[in-house]
């Protein structure tokens, strides 16, 4: 059920928000419902996309945000019909986009492990951005990765993918998670109860995002670029699944030309 509806207006490069009782086709809106399966942008993972539907009406959701803890806001455009506060609606996450995001997010955990194996324990995560078409990972290191290091990192990650181990999720007190060796990202804020993701014994990290059910779902991992973003911090762009295949074909086409 829709509990709140906000109409968005664009003027002079600014967005104004007006709380309304209803919105018609063509309106850009923000929708809040009593419950939602949509993941709001958090921890470096982009918000879900999808649809809000009812008989005779559809809203195409293009982003999901969490402006304050506990409040999930779905932003999109009314494509057909009209929507009003109190309407019963059906929420549908774009499965293809969510699956691509899950592949990329799980791969960042394996990448983090592989970087520390190849470069040393100092190569700790400093930030990330994951979505259907992006896998960006920042880590502590003071020089460009060599061709040999990139190959070894890719080999380690792809070997884990071929193991096809299940991705195990546990919700437990943070002290217990740390006792089990879970890696916590220094810049992240955690509560007393956390979500621990285990991807074989080598990768155990705290994370609240969406992930693959098994490592084999990632399909294939490839590092696309490595650059410097700050003193002592490197940034890797990588790809998984069909995105990785697309990048390989792009490289092959460049070589052919």
SS3 225: strand
pLDDT along the chain (257 residues), means of 10: 95 90 96 97 95 97 95 97 97 97 97 98 95 97 97 98 96 89 72 91 93 97 96 97 96 96
Taking 3-state DSSP, the helix, strand and coil percentages for the chain, each rounded to the nearest 5, stand at 25, 40, 30
Total-model pTM: 0.92
* Measured distance CA(149)–CA(69) in Å, rounded: 40
| Helix spans in the chain (H) | 95-119, 147-163, 174-179, 241-256
* Measured distance CA(122)–CA(137) in Å, rounded: 15
Q: What is the DSSP letter of 45?
A: B
Residues 29-60 have pLDDT tens digits of: 999 999 999 999 998 999 999 999 999 999 99
pLDDT reported for residue 187? 56
Neighbours of 42 (CB within 10 A): 14
Residues 6+ apart with CB under 8 A from 16: 8, 9
SS3 62: strand
Residues 178-192 have pLDDT tens digits of: 888 888 775 566 778
Cβ burial of 74 (10 Å; 0-12, 13-18, 19+) is buried
């Amino acid at each position: 059920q829709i509990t709140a509806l906000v109409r968005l207006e664009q003027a002079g490069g600014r967005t104004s928000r007006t709380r309304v009782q209803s919105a018609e086709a063509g309106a850009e809106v923000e929708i809040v419902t009593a419950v939602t399966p949509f993941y709001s942008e958090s921890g470096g993972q982009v918000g879900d996309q999808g649809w809000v539907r009812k008989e005779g009406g559809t809203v195409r959701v293009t982003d999901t945000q969490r402006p304050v803890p506990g409040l999930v806001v779905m932003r999109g455009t009314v494509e057909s019909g009209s929507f009003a506060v109190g309407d019963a609606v059906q929420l549908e996450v774009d499965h293809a986009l969510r699956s691509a995001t899950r592949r990329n997010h799980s791969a960042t955990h394996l990448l983090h492990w592989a970087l520390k194996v190849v470069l040393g324990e100092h190569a700790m995560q400093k930030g990330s951005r994951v979505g259907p078409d992006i896998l960006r990972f920042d880590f502590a290191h003071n020089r460009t990765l060599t061709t040999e290091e990139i190959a070894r990192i890719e080999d380690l990650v792809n070997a884990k993918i071929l193991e096809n181990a299940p991705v195990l999720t546990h919700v437990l007190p943070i002290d217990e998670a740390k006792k089990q060796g879970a890696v916590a990202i220094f810049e992240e804020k955690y509560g007393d109860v956390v979500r621990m993701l285990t991807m074989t014994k080598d990768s155990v990290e705290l994370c609240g995002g969406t992930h693959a059910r098994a490592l084999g779902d990632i399909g294939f991992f490839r590092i696309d670029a490595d650059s410097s973003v700050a003193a002592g911090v490197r940034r890797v762009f990588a790809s998984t699944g069909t995105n990785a295949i697309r990048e390989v074909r792009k490289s092959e086409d460049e070589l052919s030309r």
